[in-house]
Amino acid sequence: MKLYSFWRSLATYRVRIAMNLKGITPDEVIEINLMKGQQRDPEFRAVNPMMAIPALIDGDGRALFESLAIIEYLDETHPNPPLLPKDPKGRARVRGLAQLVAADSHPLIVPRVREYLADEFKFDEAAIAKWAQHWHRAALTALETLLKDKATGRYAHGDQITVADICLASQAAGATFFKVDLAPFPAFKRVVDNCMQNEAFARAHPLKQPGAPA
Ligand SMILES: N[C@@H](CCC(=O)N[C@@H](CS)C(=O)NCC(=O)O)C(=O)O
């Protein structure tokens, strides 16, 4: 298995957590340095035409792309521990929480969006930070309400880790990068703190990866 990765990538963090939970170690981790724009190099563009990481090659064939699709693939090929609940409503809630992070919030703050704001609209660093903080807080505000539901337990959905927790952990890491205070979001913070006690989450954290600042 080959994982295309970069220390700072929140989407790759999600896949690393799932791999750790399932005891999967990739044979090779290929760095795509987002700070040097390597996601746009022709070699990587041939791997993922969207020019984004993660991408995963498992055996023969084209790379898998999109963190949630990769995580569901890993969940289907390595069913233990399961990352989705068994009941349809539970699965929908968990997928909803996960997509709120991965599909609604995170895409607004990725490098290609920040770079476009800077290049085309002349946003300076402060304006970009304001943009990123705004979209972080919008997601955190929604998550805080959703996590006050009685379906939440030690983790986002009951007492078993699911793909929702994986996504919450990535949202929390992004909040730290963009200096968003988590104090106004205690239900969110409690679940993430519980996750971070699990070494599969802690070991996958962006700041624990090769190349990350000390
Ligand atoms: N929705 C995708 C997001 C992928 C994505 O945008 N990844 C970021 C890093 S976290 C990236 O590679 N960005 C490159 C860019 O924006 O130029 C997923 O969940 O996999």
Examine the fold and report which residue of 60, 81, 102 is the final residue of a domain before the chain moves on: 81
Shared domain for 53 and 101, answered yes or no, is no
Does residue 106 sit in the same domain as residue 183? yes
Report if residue 213 sits inside a domain: no
* Pair 203, 20: CB distance under 8 Å: yes
Instruction: Mark whether 95 and 168 lie in a shared domain.
Output: yes
Of 31, 60, 81, at which residue does a domain stop?
Answer: 81
Q: What is the pLDDT of residues 114-152, one digit of tens each?
A: 999 999 999 999 999 999 999 999 999 999 999 999 999
| Judgement on whether residues 53 and 113 belong to the same structural domain of the protein | no
Report the amino acid identity of residue 65.
Answer: F
The rounded percent of the chain whose pLDDT value lies above 70 is: 100
In a domain, 111, yes or no: yes
Same domain, 58 and 94: no
- Is there a single domain that holds both residue 140 and residue 199? yes
| 13 and 46 fall within a common domain | yes
For range 102-123, the mean pLDDT: 98
With both helix axes pointing from N to C terminus, report the angle between 125-146 and 163-177 in degrees, rounded to the nearest 10: 150
Query: Is residue 143 in some structural domain?
Result: yes
Q: Is the CB of 70 under 6 A from ligand 1?
A: no
Say if ligand 1 is within 6 A of residue 39 CB: yes
CB 192 within 8 A of CB 172: yes
How far apart are alpha carbons 202 and 74 in whole angstroms? 19
| CA–centroid distance, residue 159 to ligand 1 (Å) | 29
Domain count, the chain: 2
CATH of residue 110's domain is 1.20.1050.10
122 and 156 co-located in one domain? yes
| Distance from the alpha carbon of residue 91 to the mean position of ligand 1, in angstroms | 24
Domain co-membership, 70 together with 99: no
Do the domain assignments include residue 168? Answer: yes
Give the predicted TM-score (pTM) of the model. 0.98
Give the ligand 1 atom nearest the CA of 112: 16
Domain boundary pick from 81, 109, 132: 81
Residue 87 alpha carbon to ligand 1 centre in Å: 30
Same domain, 63 and 100: no
Q: Measured from the CB, is residue 137 less than 6 Å from ligand 1?
A: no
Residue 154 has pLDDT above 90, yes or no: yes
Domain that holds residue 112: 88-206
- Cβ(111) – ligand 1 distance below 6 Å: yes
- Asked if residue 211 belongs to a domain, the reply is no
Whole-number mean pLDDT of the chain?
98
CB 172 within 8 A of CB 182: yes
Q: In a mutational test of the pocket of ligand 1, which residue from 38, 51, 110, 166 has the highest number of ligand atoms less than 8 Å from its CB?
A: 110
Given this model, what pLDDT does residue 214 score? Answer: 85
What are 55-78's pLDDT values in tens digits?
999 999 899 999 999 999 999 999
Answer yes or no: do 63 and 165 share one domain: no
Q: Which of 16, 41, 53 to mutate to test the pocket of ligand 1 (most atoms within 8 A of CB)?
A: 53
Helices 10-21 and 67-77 pack at an angle, to 10 degrees, of 10
Please give the span between the terminal C-alpha atoms of the chain, in angstroms, as a whole number: 28
Pocket of ligand 1 contains residue 53 by CB under 6 Å: yes
Q: What is the CATH number of the domain that holds 16?
A: 3.40.30.10
Question: Which element (helix H / strand E) includes 5?
Answer: strand 2-5
pLDDT at 198 over 90: yes
